[in-house]
Amino acid sequence: MKIMMTMFFVSVLALSGFSSASNQGDSVLTQQDPKEVLIERANSGDVEAMIELDERFLFHQYLPGLILYKEWYDIVLESTDADAIYLYASMYIKYQDMYFDGMIKYLDLLDRAQQLGSNEAFYQLVNMYESVHTVGVFGTGYPGSDEVYFYNNRKVFNDDYSLEDLHIDLIETSSVERLDDLYEYYRTNNGSKELAKKLAEDIKDKLKDEGFSLTLEPAYEAFFDKRISEQKKAKLIDDLLLSDNKKVILFAAGRLRYSNPDKSIEFYEKSLSLDLTERERLISYSVITHIYKKAKDEASLVYFTEKEIEDIGGYNATSDLLEIYQKDAESKQKYEDNFNRIEPYILKDPNAKRALADYLYKSGLRSVGVSMLEELANQGDDEAIVSLAKKTNDKAISDKWLKHILDSNNPKLMLEVSEGHHYYEKGLLKAIYDQTISNGYIYYLRDSYFAFYNEDEAYAIDSMRQLIEAGDAESISNFVSQYDSYDDILKQEYTAYVEDLYQELVEADNLRVIHDFALMHYKSQYFLNKRLGDPKEALKYFEKSADLGNDFAVYQMARFYKYGDETLGIRPNSRKAKFYLKRLESIGADNRIKRL
């Protein structure tokens, strides 16, 4: 076959010797600690190792990991690394269904991180408190938002303590740096605008009294002062572009993104000359290229995408650029020199190189694409390994790397190729699925009981046994709610254990369990092998749930006393109804008040 000397095929000829060339120019993947070493580091209190275990091996999604993460929680809570604590905390949102108290743990970790100086944790707490109080528990979108109420209402239910008092406390206890950021939060807040405006002025006065000025004050004047003319506003915005403060530049860029995209690009381009984090640089490039793509300005799009690859590399940028280069015959010729210039940068970055390999494979140059991917895979590039394993059009290649994944017993890699390929599969995929189960992958084990019970009763029972003994909250909750569906062996082994566990959770003020007991007694439902239905117990649990800040329970108590309730033997009582209505007002549950 005749090979046309377009820029791509010139490159392919050069790439016939890329293995030797790569030894000189290509980056080699950083050597990483194996899982066993990371576990040792984590056991010694290394929070970063705990985070890396989940990022690289999805360790939290496996039973051995769940057990260890429960043990590590107290260690993390005593750590002094604010950023690590903040990153670790996110796992209790991500894996909340594995815990009965995931949200409380998450909030405690955020609180610890913000006390140690993490601005990210600080504002996450502020945002969650504000959202929960403004919208109400079942409208926030936050999982476990009743626990946010509980966490916050320990203060809010104190007589005259209000949402405004909460924010005033934040202001009074904040450093100058945080006040500067908090001012921005209130200045741009879309919630309670009058309160936000008042709080912003309080911060401004406080900083002025202490001899400090606000970093973004010139930007606020340019964007929010309605008294100034459009001409003066434009002049102020031009003056902002002279700043070397990345906070000012990025703020202005974001404010202009939709109202004046061309001006926004000037600010984002300026930001690239400043000391940005990698994430900030990626966002700046992403916004710039998005604007040019929308404007169909191909020349500018190519320029900045090439600049991004030269600067930080990346799979998506490279993939997008190759699509432009190879769009048609005219483009191939037009961008030949561009590719020859950018090619060394692509080969230098593993993610960009993988994008080139995938593109070559899809374009018909399979052997070259596979060779590039295998070079990366042999260096330990997980994404390249998965890409090769999924190339089912080349069974020999796919089987080779599926076997590599199986032999490596790397949980993350096995999961990436086995998802969607369950027990009905055959061959290597079935073997990988079985190994994933054997490693204790929680989400597959949860499905195993009912999936395998008729086929392999002992195996199904053992799967459920492992989940209960590891303390997986979702599995234990299912055992309670579907008690009659489980085998008598499990009932004999775990009924007393789960009963004691739930009692401990009640004593620990666990809102989830207390609320469940209130409803089970109220509706005369079964809890394990016992039928509940004691009106006094129902009222006790509703009251306890309300006292802890569950707005649904507060609403129920207000309704019980306003209208009376035959099941609980409650007669209308206007005094008690007003008491609970006042509580609903104190937590901003306007949507529930309207229903009454």
Per-residue pLDDT tens over the stretch 83-126 = 999 999 999 989 989 998 888 888 889 889 988 888 788 778 77
CB 469, CB 66: distance < 8 Å: no
Q: How confident is the model at residue 387 (pLDDT cuts 50, 70, 90)?
A: very high
Give whole-number Cα distances, 98 to 64, 306, 347, 468, in Å.
13, 44, 42, 11
* pLDDT higher than threshold 80 for residue 493: yes
Tokens 């909340």 belong to: 96
Mean pLDDT of the chain: 84
* pLDDT higher than threshold 50 for residue 148: no
Q: Kindly tell me the sign of the dihedral angle through the C-alpha atoms of 331, 333, 337, 340.
A: positive
* pLDDT higher than threshold 70 for residue 252: yes
Distance CA(474)–CA(98), nearest Å, equals: 6
DSSP state letter for 4? P
Q: In 3D, which of 301, 353, 288, 350 has the Cα closest to residue 327?
A: 301
Distance CA(325)–CA(495), nearest Å, equals: 65
Span 496-504, average pLDDT: 94
State the pLDDT at residue 589.
56
State the pLDDT at residue 319.
96
Angle in degrees, CA 409, 414, 417, rounded to 5: 155
Q: How many helices (H) and strands (E) does the chain have?
A: 37, 2
Question: What percentage of the chain exceeds 90 in pLDDT?
Answer: 54
Tokens 């600067």 belong to: 311
Q: Which of 27-36, 241-250, 410-419 has the highest mean pLDDT?
A: 241-250
Span 537-554, average pLDDT: 86
Both structure tokens of 256: 């202009």
CB 346, CB 352: distance < 8 Å: yes
- Phi/psi for 62 (5° steps) reads -115, 150
Distance CA(363)–CA(340), nearest Å, equals: 18
Both structure tokens of 219: 């930007």
CB 263, CB 256: distance < 8 Å: yes
Q: In 3D, which of 111, 142, 137, 150 has the Cα closest to residue 514?
A: 150
Q: Rounded to an integer, what is the distance from CA 446 to the centroid of its chain?
A: 22
Give whole-number Cα distances, 12 to 295, 332, 360, 365, in Å.
33, 14, 9, 9
Q: Which of 22-26, 293-297, 546-550 has the lowest mean pLDDT?
A: 22-26
CB 375, CB 388: distance < 8 Å: no
The whole-model pTM stands at: 0.77
State the pLDDT at residue 4.
33
Question: What percentage of the chain exceeds 70 in pLDDT?
Answer: 84
